[in-house]
Amino acid sequence: MIAYLERFVHGNEAETREDDVSNLRKALDLQGSIDCESTGLASKDFGGMHAAKPLALIRPFGADDIVRVVRAASRLSNLTVAARGNGHSINGQAMADRGLVIDMRAMEDNPFNVVPSRGSSLPYVDVSGGALWENLLKRCVSEFGLSPRSWTDYLGLTVGGTLSNAGVSGQAFRFGPQSSNVTELEVVTGKGDTCICSETENSELFFSVLGGLGQFGIITRARILLQTAPDMVRWIRVVYAEFDEFTRAAEFLVTRAEDDSFDYIEGFAFVNSDDPVNGWPSVPLDSDQWFDPARIPQTAGSILYCLEVALHYRNSDRLSTIDTNVNRMLGRLGFIEQLKFQVDVSYMKFLLRVKRAEQQSMANGMWDAPHPWLNLFVSKTDIADFNRLVFKKILKVGVGGPMLVYPLLRSKWDDRTSVVLPRGEIFYIVALLRFNPSSPKGPPVEELVAQNQEIIKCCTKNGFDFKLYLPHYKSEEEWKRHFGNQWTRFVERKDSFDPMAILAPGQKIFSRNR
């Protein structure tokens, strides 16, 4: 088998013979399938800026197939293996140049097992690492009236893909990221071992894998905590002219007790203009709502801020009680009067809100254009300067899409995971979600990448306490700086669980010749 794989790996494409696929299949002895021809899916991602052709795309039947693939790769000196979730990375993180890419979605329905709450224990679901959050939501709510507690804004992402990063949305201030809401994992390590791990069993592997950028193992199953799903959501946006008033209100809300705040808290910066994408029209929640610019104070600058909140409720709740609670909480937030937008939608519709944007953006070709997105965590101590130097100067005309900015609480993150964060209890996520038409209709992608670099440089030059979220670096020096005093731990974890550096080569942290 090894001799065969050697020839396959070292041969070039022109030499790849017709019977190679069946030979490779025989060598790996998979229950699933292997494709060396139609590997296109695995050589691109949502970012649309990187391409790497793998040797083969593998659709595993189950964890045993993944074990076989990893073990086969370990017997060669240069073969790598990348798990591909839904390929929604920006910078080729799920790719493997001339390696083996495992399409995790091939096993997305296996397992799916909901366990209701027993006594004081929370209900949970055991779900495949290749499951889409969107499908998890639909099944949990419609079949069981239950729902995960912590989300991402967009749900066309896999469980394994987001847990390898963190998974952040407007519920994270209360429950932490998705990686704080998982109690057990089944993982195939870079040594080809299948391990069950949790806070108490194989805990080092458990915490390594969470936020581990795919470096230590492939998540084949995750146990995710659930809660009773609400029926409805009151979804509200309010506007601020001043950044310090916006941050004061947002920080006030994220630090309140659970029964004295909203269930979802986010925010975004937008341009003080009638630009349909970057400006006032991006704020109303419904087509029958109108943003009245006459309400903006004369003193406002080039950028305005929107606080976005939501409150869950049941169909059986009295609407007058919801009104009273919402008004009591809004009354303390000091936003611009009459720049308040509100709708009541079903819980499912609320959580699938970005799907509607996806459909629009697919229709106008923007979904398939390059997406040079930038995500950062910025400490509360530096967020005002970030606003002054980045939002108000570098990004004063917007990014062609949402510029999210909202506070998170460090105490809701477990510092035993592999994620690195700024210091201090409160930090902000900043997400620059660029949707531009491809050049020449839109700006050249190089210009946008250069603007991202300018922002990172600005943060570094001014000594901001910040970290990239969904980080992308090319040199070990940069990775060392990113992990800071956690770099040694990260390297030790690699040595323990993937010593030959087989996994997730697209992250460009370690190479097989290390």
Q: Which residues are catalytic?
A: 88, 153, 266
Q: Is 369 in the site for ligand FAD (CB under 6 A)?
A: no
Q: Please identify which residue in 5, 70, 72, 157 interacts with ligand FAD, judged by CB under 6 A.
A: 157
Nearest CB to ligand FAD, comparing residues 128 and 451 = 128
Q: Is 402 in the site for ligand FAD (CB under 6 A)?
A: no
Q: Is 100 in the site for ligand FAD (CB under 6 A)?
A: no
Report the alpha-carbon distance of residue 331 to residue 379 in Å, rounded.
27
Nearest CB to ligand FAD, comparing residues 398 and 506 = 506
Q: Is 89 in the site for ligand FAD (CB under 6 A)?
A: yes
Alpha-helical segments (H) within 211-341: 243-254, 319-330
According to CB under 6 A, which residues from 201 to 230 bind ligand FAD? Answer: 213-214, 218-219
Binding mask 431-470 for ligand FAD (x = CB under 6 A): ---------------------------------------x
- DSSP state for residue 237 in the 8-state scheme: E
Q: Which stretch binds ligand FAD (CB under 6 A): 78-86, 288-296, 303-311, 391-399?
A: 78-86
Interface with ligand FAD (CB under 6 A), residue total 36
């809401």: which residue's tokens?
A: 181
State which H helix or E strand residue 22 sits in. Answer: helix 20-28
Q: Please identify which residue in 63, 497, 506, 510 interacts with ligand FAD, judged by CB under 6 A.
A: 506
CA distances from 136 to 128, 129, 182 (A): 10, 11, 14
Q: Please identify which residue in 24, 52, 94, 352 interacts with ligand FAD, judged by CB under 6 A.
A: 94
Q: Which stretch binds ligand FAD (CB under 6 A): 115-123, 163-171, 442-450, 456-464?
A: 163-171
Q: Please identify which residue in 54, 123, 148, 160 interacts with ligand FAD, judged by CB under 6 A.
A: 160
With CA atoms as reference, report the closest residue to 166 among 157, 382, 221, 204.
157
CB of 357 to ligand FAD, least distance (A): 9
Alpha-helical segments (H) within 210-285: 243-254
CB of 360 to ligand FAD, least distance (A): 13
Q: Please identify which residue in 154, 175, 235, 464 interacts with ligand FAD, judged by CB under 6 A.
A: 154
Q: Do 460 and 408 form a contact (C-beta atoms < 8 A)?
A: no
CB of 258 to ligand FAD, least distance (A): 22
User: Residue 233: what are its φ and ψ, rounded to 5°?
Assistant: -135, 130
**Tally of residues, the chain:** 514
Q: Is 82 in the site for ligand FAD (CB under 6 A)?
A: yes
According to CB under 6 A, which residues from 19 to 58 bind ligand FAD? Answer: 45-46
Q: Is 164 in the site for ligand FAD (CB under 6 A)?
A: yes
Alpha-helical segments (H) within 98-179: 133-139, 159-163, 172-175
CB of 286 to ligand FAD, least distance (A): 22
Which residues does 274 contact at the CB level (< 8 Å), separation at least 6?
A: 280, 281, 293
Q: Is 106 in the site for ligand FAD (CB under 6 A)?
A: no
Angle between helices 63-74 and 20-28 (to 10 degrees): 100
Helix (H, G, I), strand (E, B) or coil at 360: helix
Q: Please identify which residue in 161, 192, 279, 398 interacts with ligand FAD, judged by CB under 6 A.
A: 161
Angle between helices 2-10 and 20-28 (to 10 degrees): 140
Q: Is 97 in the site for ligand FAD (CB under 6 A)?
A: no
Nearest CB to ligand FAD, comparing residues 170 and 398 = 170
Q: Can you give the three-state secondary structure of 397-458, one letter per residue?
A: CCCCCCEEEEEEEHHHCCCCCCCCCCCCCEEEEEEECCCCCCCCCCCCHHHHHHHHHHHHHH
According to CB under 6 A, which residues from 380 to 399 bind ligand FAD? Answer: none
Nearest CB to ligand FAD, comparing residues 60 and 291 = 60
Q: Please identify which residue in 32, 60, 167, 398 interacts with ligand FAD, judged by CB under 6 A.
A: 167
Strands 56-59 and 100-103, how do they pair? parallel
Report the alpha-carbon distance of residue 234 to residue 308 in Å, rounded.
11
Across 12-99, the runs of DSSP E, i.e. the strands, are: 33-35, 56-59, 81-84
Nearest CB to ligand FAD, comparing residues 140 and 166 = 166
Q: Please identify which residue in 32, 54, 60, 87 interacts with ligand FAD, judged by CB under 6 A.
A: 87
Which tokens in the block code for residue 281?
A: 């029209």
Q: Which stretch binds ligand FAD (CB under 6 A): 19-27, 158-166, 394-402, 437-445?
A: 158-166
Report the alpha-carbon distance of residue 404 to residue 269 in Å, rounded.
6
Q: Do 36 and 21 form a contact (C-beta atoms < 8 A)?
A: yes
Nearest CB to ligand FAD, comparing residues 154 and 235 = 154
Q: Is 158 in the site for ligand FAD (CB under 6 A)?
A: yes
- DSSP state for residue 79 in the 8-state scheme: -
Residue 336 CA to its chain's centroid (Å): 32
Q: Which stretch binds ligand FAD (CB under 6 A): 1-9, 314-322, 493-501, 502-510?
A: 502-510
Q: Do 147 and 178 form a contact (C-beta atoms < 8 A)?
A: no
Instruction: Give buried/exposed letters for 257-282 (b at 16+ CB in 10 A, else e).
Output: eeeebbbbbbbbbbbbbeeebbbbeb
Which residues does 463 contact at the CB level (< 8 Å), separation at least 6?
A: none
Q: Which stretch binds ligand FAD (CB under 6 A): 138-146, 152-160, 345-353, 389-397?
A: 152-160
CB of 124 to ligand FAD, least distance (A): 18
Q: Please identify which residue in 42, 58, 60, 84 interacts with ligand FAD, judged by CB under 6 A.
A: 84
Q: Which residues make up the interface to ligand FAD (CB under 6 A)?
A: 45-46, 82-89, 93-94, 104, 129, 152-154, 157-158, 160-162, 164-169, 213-214, 218-219, 470, 504, 506-507
